[in-house]
Structure 1
């Protein structure tokens, strides 16, 4: 169940980044509300996942997978460029997350 909690936290953390980008410095009330509500939900589900995961490992996986998701969504939704360096960074993050998972901490 802890992996499901972490996955939900990742989805909402990714939503935070997209919504914050649209909030125009928190001047757009709807996107600001989406940012804050998504952040609260993401943090709640992360806290549930951290009941099982080591804090450092769970948080590292949460931020890493969210970061990859944000980069990929930026490319798909906003036409942001994915060059070789970004792809190499994504691959490095994925390898790191696999390494953390294999460490047996969850």
Structure 2
């Protein structure tokens, strides 16, 4: 039976990891705010011209924002899916013959 204990990072490593994760989340938040501001302007322009073309940038950019969010929150989220996958790979590599070389 395998042990699923995570390694405890050093204080410096934990600080770097925390800063990297916070930076990724802040990057997504800035992306979302810019999306809202720009698309509010585009919808206003679209409606004032009597056409509904603003749906295209909303959908295209919205898809990009959703993918960005998924990547950020899956890899840095509270559950740490990425961290669990990395730990599982470390355990697999450690069990391979000659892994310490």
TM-score, normalisation: structure 2? 0.37
- Larger of the two Rg values belongs to structure: 2
* Greater relative contact order structure (CA < 8 Å, 6+ sep): 1
Higher helix content, 1 or 2: 1
